[in-house]
Amino acid sequence: MGKITHVQIQLTLSLHNVNAEAGRSSTQPALRRRGERRRFHQQRHCRRKYWSHHHYVHQRSRWNT
């Protein structure tokens, strides 16, 4: 099945964030931390929205059977 688990999503996101941080100079740790916190909040919101959408799609597929 082509189902992606949340663990894989978290792993890819953390890898992407590490790569982005490595490319940027770490001379402003406070600014970087604030940006990470904002990004994490948006991430949580998007995942909650995605979960509701995924739940709806899953229920719809159950109706079709």
**Domain encompassing residue 42:** 1-64
The pLDDT of residue 19 is 54
How far lies 14's CA from each of 7, 20, 36, 48, 63, in Å? 10, 10, 11, 18, 36
Residue 2 dihedral angles phi and psi, to the nearest 5°:
-95, 35
pLDDT along the chain (65 residues), means of 10: 64 57 53 52 55 74 67
Residue 60 to residue 38: CA distance in whole angstroms: 33
Residue 64 to residue 11: CA distance in whole angstroms: 33
Predicted structure pTM score: 0.19
The pLDDT of residue 61 is 73
The pLDDT of residue 58 is 75
The pLDDT of residue 57 is 77
* Total domains in the fold of the chain: 1
Contact (CB, 8 A) for 32 and 22: no
